[in-house]
Amino acid sequence: MTPQAEIALSDPTLIAPINAAKELFWRQGYDETSIEDVVGATGMNRYALYNAFGGKLELFLAVLENYFVERKNLFLTALSDPQGGPMAAIREVSEYCIIEMTDRGAGCLMCDVAAEVGRYDKAVSERVLSYLEEIRSADEMALTQAEACGELNPAISPKEGAALLIANMLGVGALARNGAGRRELLTLFNSCLRLLGRQGDAQGLQRKRRNPQARTVKQVSN
């Protein structure tokens, strides 16, 4: 991130324009979003925009950073002190993300749009990978707790499980971007979570249960 973009992020009057621009980039992509679009959506004029951010790329970097931080907070808050247990917390934040993606039919700002920009600027790709790693590690933390309460499928380590969750969410994003429906994507995520959980270890679970027919898993209502 450029120093200018960093300054932009800390200026409270720029929060609203950044959010407006984020919405545009997220829905339309980087190339498809013109400065004129941003002028229209933010209410700022070109002069002020260039003054505050420096240019289109720098504006996008500020947007991306804002999205990064927001997303990280979302995950860390929900996963560091999960009320209903770690698996429930993972489900909660993930379903929130899926709803965001299907609302926009636009996948993940970080991975899809940022990858577009990554073609110009390799630093963006690296930033994306490092952020994904941060989120993966938040997932891993939650899965470690899950392991401790016996909620994790013993066939897998928290680390591997977290990587699977990330990949699954990226896949869900790719499908959303091509127009897949919310219900379908929630079901897909649900299968993933089921395999990661103790329920994925079907026989092992059955052996512990008093009534094996209760094996089916509570589905999301969507």
Partner DNA sequence: TCTAAACCAGATTGACCATTCTGGATTTGC
Partner DNA sequence: GCAAATCCAGAATGGTCAATCTGGTTTAGA
Task: Print the binding letters for residues 49-78 with DNA: x by CB under 7 A, - otherwise.
Answer: -xx---xxx---------------------
160: CB partners within 8 A, 6+ apart: none
Per the CB < 8 A criterion, the answer to whether 189 and 98 are in contact is: yes
Which of a second copy, DNA, none is residue 92 near (CB under 5 to 8 Å by kind)? none
SS3 39: helix
CA separation for the pair 164, 106 (Å, rounded): 21
Which of DNA, a second copy, none is residue 126 near (CB under 5 to 8 Å by kind)? a second copy
Which of DNA, a second copy, none is residue 44 near (CB under 5 to 8 Å by kind)? DNA
CA separation for the pair 194, 197 (Å, rounded): 5
- 28: tokens are 């339309």
Nearest CA to 60 out of 101, 133, 115 is that of: 115
Which of a second copy, DNA, none is residue 117 near (CB under 5 to 8 Å by kind)? none
Nearer to a second copy, 99 or 115 (CB): 115
Neighbours of 164 (CB within 10 A): 18
Per the CB < 8 A criterion, the answer to whether 66 and 22 are in contact is: yes
Q: Is 7 among the residues that bind DNA (CB under 7 A)? A: no
Nearer to a second copy, 69 or 155 (CB): 155
Nearer to DNA, 33 or 190 (CB): 33
Instruction: Give least dist CB 45 to a second copy, A.
Output: 27
The piece of 16-24, 29-37, 79-87, 204-212 that touches DNA (CB under 7 A) is 29-37
182: CB partners within 8 A, 6+ apart: 98, 99, 102, 222
Number of residues that bind DNA (CB under 7 A): 14
Instruction: Give least dist CB 72 to a second copy, A.
Output: 17
CA separation for the pair 36, 45 (Å, rounded): 9
CA separation for the pair 217, 124 (Å, rounded): 40
Nearer to a second copy, 83 or 178 (CB): 178
Applying CB under 8 A, which residues contact a second copy?
28-29, 31-32, 107-108, 111-112, 114-116, 118-119, 122, 125-126, 128-129, 132, 153-156, 160-161, 163-164, 166-175, 177-180, 187-188, 191-192, 194-196, 199-207, 215
CA separation for the pair 181, 112 (Å, rounded): 18
Contact residues toward DNA (CB under 7 A) are 33-36, 44-48, 50-51, 55-57
